[in-house]
Amino acid sequence: MAKPSRSAIERELVDRHGRTYAEELRVNLARGTPSALFKLLVAAILFSARIGAKQGVRAAGALFEQGWTTAGKLAGSTWEERVRVLDRSGYARYDERTATMLGQASELLLERYGGDLRRLREEAGRDPNRERALLRQLKGLGNVGIDIFFREVQVAPWSAPHWPRTTTRSSRRQRPGSPGPRTRQATVRVTSMLPLGVAASAGRATELLG
């Protein structure tokens, strides 16, 4: 029996495990607009806290329903308004702290990049490490959030694929009998299309592709 192709495995994993966070939030990243990228940034900040994926999606959706879909609009909201929306959407444990960080991140994004994350990338010279360093300056966005942002943004005209740090590091260490570079690349590509909670399932693809 012939082995399934890489593309067939990718489609199967995506079909089996559902949509990405951006798709759940109806964020059209294919256009690569400042608003779409900002909405993904907000979601990444929310997912950086120790919460469930459903809570993060619900909280992000609640913020967007208020019309806070750009850095300017979110910065124009009050801290009390943000806290109230986060609290109602099940984000009560981190509502006050997150409301502060969202406001600070929006203001910094406006001040330095005119609210446009594409300008951040240009300032970074399209260097992934530099992009990470600049994103880390935004309040509330740590390594986990940055990994989520890069993983989800790959469908947008942003840059070459960026892989989560853990995957990048592990791909540098090849043990005898471990999958080859092409297999790892396919697995990473599949992982990038899956929601964070099920991304680990893509590791099974190495057995099929090996």
What residue spans define the domains of the chain? 6-18+165-209, 21-155
Q: What is the mean pLDDT of residues 28-36?
A: 88
Containing 188, the helix (H) or strand (E) segment is helix 181-192
Residue 46: closest CA among 72, 64, 26, 19: 64
Note if the pTM is more than 0.75: no
- Residue 91, C-beta contacts closer than 8 angstroms, at least 6 positions apart: 46, 49, 51, 55, 58, 59, 98
CA angle 169, 170, 172 (to 5 degrees): 70
Residue 102, pLDDT > 70, answer yes
Q: Give the Cβ contact number of residue 26 at 10 Å.
A: 9
Residue 133, pLDDT > 90, answer yes
Write down how long the chain is. 210
pLDDT for the residue numbered 49? 85
Q: What is the mean pLDDT of residues 152-171?
A: 53
Q: How would you label 148-172 residue by residue, b for 16+ Cβ within 10 Å and e otherwise? A: bbbbbbbebebbeebbbeebeeeee
Distance CA 71, CA 143 (A): 21
Q: What is the mean pLDDT of residues 129-141?
A: 92
Tell me the residue ranges of DSSP E strands in 71-194: none
Distance CA 198, CA 81 (A): 33
Residue 86 tokens read as 């986060």
- Residue 62, C-beta contacts closer than 8 angstroms, at least 6 positions apart: 85, 86, 88, 89
Domain spanning 21-155, CATH architecture = Orthogonal Bundle (1.10)
pLDDT for the residue numbered 60? 95
Residue 39, pLDDT > 60, answer yes
Contact status, residue 198 vs residue 9, Cβ threshold 8 Å: no
Q: What is the pLDDT of residues 52-79, one digit of tens each?
A: 888 899 999 999 999 999 999 999 999 9
